[in-house]
């Protein structure tokens, strides 16, 4: 098994005919993902990458049975596209778009309430279940089917930990980039719940960073769930200066809030194993599984 995407995923792409989508969806198709439809308003009836294009999400779903959507839509139109997919009852939306206005994402969060949809992102590298399906822009070079679930706020560190767990013979069940924006869909805690329920996943790596409170919320979840699977956390940014944005909107510590040290302390107090640095996340997990 895996979480979120697998061999049964039938993916559509909103914004398929754009340059970025053309490149990355081509990679997904080559990886073996079942990409069954594209959506570009005004271009319905055409094909692109040998995939049929529709004017609306509802039409694409009705014609192809698509159950997931990959979003390559400019930030000013991204929320509207996400809400269209929610209203069409698409089960999973993966949004890689960066710099979506926060007020737009607040409206998206309202639309998600009571819906059948899970949203990953925006500003996410996507979801990868090695050997089954890729819905994202991540590298697949070091991906290998295995037993470690990775939930991350950092695309680069996801690739690093993926390479480490593959080199150690552990592999990955699924990797999930929750997204770097301060307001987004699926959280680290949501990913934990999915991984804990997944029999393929034997260990979980959480990758956090400064900004927000997701790591503390994950610690609260772990404390209440009392999981039997080992959880390793890597939280970066211990030496980041306060009041300075580091890379993107979510990586910002102010007045002690959102700093790395209290995040690490909260996770450690919940029983999580802390990787001392990025180079040792994989070995920390291997040691935990060994005993």
Distance separating the N- and C-terminal Cα atoms of the chain: 24
Q: Which domains does the chain have, with CATH numbers?
A: 10-120 (3.40.50.720), 141-290 (3.40.50.261)
Sequence-distant (≥ 6) Cβ neighbours of residue 230 within 8 angstroms: 203, 204, 273, 285, 288, 289
Residue-level length of the chain: 291
Instruction: Give the count of beta carbons closer than 10 Å to the beta carbon of residue 174.
Output: 27
Burial of 196 (0-12, 13-18, 19+ CB in 10 A): middle
Average confidence (pLDDT) per 10 residues, the chain, 291 residues: 96 98 98 98 98 98 98 98 98 96 96 97 97 98 98 96 98 96 94 98 96 94 97 87 57 60 96 97 98 77
Q: What is the pLDDT of residue 244?
A: 57
Q: Are 66 and 36 in contact (CB under 8 A)?
A: yes
Q: What is the pLDDT of residue 249?
A: 47
Active site members: 248
Nearest to 12 by CA among 76, 77, 85: 85
């Amino acid at each position: 098994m895996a979480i979120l995407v697998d061999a049964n995923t039938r993916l559509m792409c909103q914004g398929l005919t754009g340059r970025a989508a053309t490149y990355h969806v081509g990679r997904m198709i080559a990886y073996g993902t079942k990409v069954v439809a594209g959506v570009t308003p005004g271009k319905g009836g055409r094909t692109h990458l040998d995939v049929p294009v529709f004017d609306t999400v509802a039409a694409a779903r009705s014609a192809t049975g698509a159950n997931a959507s990959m979003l390559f839509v400019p930030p000013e139109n991204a929320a509207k596209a996400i809400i269209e997919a929610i209203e069409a009852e698409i089960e999973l939306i993966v949004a890689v778009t960066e710099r979506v206005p926060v007020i737009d994402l607040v409206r998206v969060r309202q639309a998600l309430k009571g819906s059948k949809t899970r949203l990953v992102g925006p500003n996410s590298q996507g979801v990868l279940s090695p050997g089954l399906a890729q819905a994202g822009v991540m590298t697949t070079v070091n991906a290998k089917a295995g037993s470690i679930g990775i939930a991350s706020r950092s695309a680069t560190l996801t690739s690093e930990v993926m390479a480490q767990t593959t080199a150690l013979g552990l592999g990955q069940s699924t990797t999930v980039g929750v997204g770097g924006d301060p307001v987004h869909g699926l959280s680290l805690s949501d990913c934990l719940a999915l991984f804990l329920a997944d029999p393929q996943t034997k260990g979980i790596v959480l990758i956090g960073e400064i900004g927000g409170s997701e790591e503390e919320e994950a610690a609260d979840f772990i404390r209440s769930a009392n999981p039997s699977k080992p959880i390793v956390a890597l939280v970066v940014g211990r030496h980041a200066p306060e009041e300075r944005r580091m890379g993107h909107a979510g990586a910002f510590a102010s007045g002690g809030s959102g700093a790395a040290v209290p995040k690490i302390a909260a996770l450690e107090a919940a029983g999580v194993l802390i990787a001392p640095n990025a180079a040792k996340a994989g070995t920390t997990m291997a040691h935990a599984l060994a005993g």
